[in-house]
Amino acid sequence: MENNLFLNAAFSQKTERPPVWMMRQAGRFMPQYWEIKNKYSFLEMCKTPEIAADVTMLPVDLLDIDAAILFSDILVTGEAMGGDLSFTQGVGPKFANPVRTQADIDNLNIDCLDRLQYVADAIKVIQQRLNGKIPLIGFAGAPFTVMSYLVEGGSSRDFKLTKLMLHNEPEMAHQLLAKIAKVTAAYLNLQIEAGVNAVQIFDSWAQALAWDDYKDFSHRYIAEIISNLNRKDIPVISFCKGSSVFAPLMAEAKPDVISIDWNVDLLDMKQRLPQNIAVQGNLDPHILYADKPVIKERIHRLFERMKDTPGFIFNLGHGIMPDIPFDNVKYAIEVIKEYRY
Ligand code: CP3
């Protein structure tokens, strides 16, 4: 690998500056994304390896980040299991056949890796294009977050139906989560086999859960997935919205890196975790709406705080919003790349 900053930091080694990538770095804040998006549907983009590779490469070519992330979505596992998935502009993801009864759960197919082969194909095309320049991160959704979309039938503000299933029908919820976890581990192993250099598990909506429910219905399945990965020298990143609360528990699942949201002081959090676990984060994505001197000051403030701490990857606490100015993202990355500890 020409640029090893990301992998070194992920394995808690010292780097000359923090490596940088950003969640949702290939997306709607980029004018070049829209040029492609205007021609194809989102799922067509994900399922056509050449197009998925084109989009994955946009931030590599235009922003010069230190790691690429596969262009796909966390909901493709739900689709492969039998979910009727669509993405509509302004509506977001929808499953037309929500999973709410025992029969719905029984109908989900766990032998569905062949339906995700297009992802392995995309990874191979992307690795040819990257040609050893920077690492490629693969990813999957965590069981609880994927479950929430399957049960609600789409995005949700309060996860009412999902939490009702956890609370009223815990046995059913466990069956559903176990099925998703099984597919997710196999799917991540398929990505590793196809050539990704790291994997991230996204539990975007974990912050909706009480501590005990997070432990029983989310953490447990993430730990199971991580223990079933053919890791070799592939770092595993665990992301959850709510990590400023749940990180000590996330650490028990033994990821190499925990991605931290912006509610907590990152150094304090790092010091509370086992030494061999690196942290990723944790700039509030809203900082990228602010004026450039503010962007620079906040990045430098974070870096000064983390400067004597091996095992730090710069990222946002959550994904880039679609209306963040492209120029501000580019500026932030320049500031990061100029910095030296
Ligand atoms: O980070 C990257 O650049 C890689 C690609 C990526 C996408 N989705 C592309 C995408 C990744 C890693 C994801 C993960 C994902 N998808 C998550 C977890 C990350 C997070 O932000 O918490 C979640 C919760 C989803 C589910 C999902 N997919 C939502 C809520 C949406 C947006 C709906 C909307 O209209 O706002 C999507 C669609 C999606 N995934 C888009 C992209 C670029 C937008 C699709 C479009 O162009 O219309």
Structure tokens at 250: 């996330």
149 is in an annotated binding site: yes
Burial of 201 (0-12, 13-18, 19+ CB in 10 A): buried
Which of these, 256, 259, 247, lies nearest to 319 by C-alpha position?
259
Q: For residues 138-161, give the mean pLDDT.
A: 98
Burial of 68 (0-12, 13-18, 19+ CB in 10 A): buried
Cα(107)–Cα(99) distance, integer angstroms: 9
Ligand 1: centre distance to CA 31 (Å): 17
Cis before 282 (ω within 30): yes
CB distance 11 to ligand 1 below 6 Å? no
CB distance 23 to ligand 1 below 6 Å? yes
Minimum-distance ligand 1 atom for the alpha carbon of 319: 21
pLDDT computed for residue 110 by the predictor: 98
ipTM field: 0.92
Minimum-distance ligand 1 atom for the alpha carbon of 204: 22
Structure tokens at 215: 């432990």
CB distance 154 to ligand 1 below 6 Å? no
Query: Which residues have C-beta within 8 Å of that of residue 116, sequence separation ≥ 6?
Result: 76, 77, 80, 187, 190
CB distance 40 to ligand 1 below 6 Å? no
pLDDT computed for residue 164 by the predictor: 98
In DSSP terms, which residues pair with 278 in a beta bridge?
A: 257
Identity of residue 168: N
CB distance 89 to ligand 1 below 6 Å? yes
pLDDT at 89 over 90: no
Nearest CA to ligand 1 atom 8: 73
CB atoms within 10 A of CB 120: 18
pLDDT at 73 over 90: yes
Q: For residues 12-33, give the mean pLDDT.
A: 97
Cα(254)–Cα(248) distance, integer angstroms: 11
CB atoms within 10 A of CB 247: 22
Ligand 1: centre distance to CA 91 (Å): 12
CB distance 26 to ligand 1 below 6 Å? yes
Q: What is the pTM of this model?
A: 0.97
pLDDT computed for residue 308 by the predictor: 85
The full set of domains in the chain, from first to last, is 22-283 (3.20.20.210)
With beta carbons less than 8 A apart as the criterion, state whether 250 and 219 touch: yes
pLDDT computed for residue 147 by the predictor: 98
Please count the residues of the chain. Answer: 341
CB distance 92 to ligand 1 below 6 Å? yes
Ligand 1: centre distance to CA 340 (Å): 32
Cα(243)–Cα(206) distance, integer angstroms: 8
CA-CA distances (angstroms) from residue 187 to 45, 115, 268, 277? 19, 10, 34, 24
Measured between alpha carbons, how far apart are the two ends of the chain, in Å? 22
pLDDT computed for residue 2 by the predictor: 96
Outline where 156-242 has alpha helix (H).
Answer: 160-168, 170-194, 211-213, 220-227
pLDDT at 232 over 90: no
With beta carbons less than 8 A apart as the criterion, state whether 273 and 311 touch: no
pLDDT at 188 over 90: yes
Query: Which residues have C-beta within 8 Å of that of residue 41, sequence separation ≥ 6?
Result: 87
pLDDT computed for residue 11 by the predictor: 98
Which of these, 219, 288, 270, 209, lies nearest to 242 by C-alpha position?
209
Q: What angle do CA 92, 94, 97 make, to 5 degrees?
A: 175
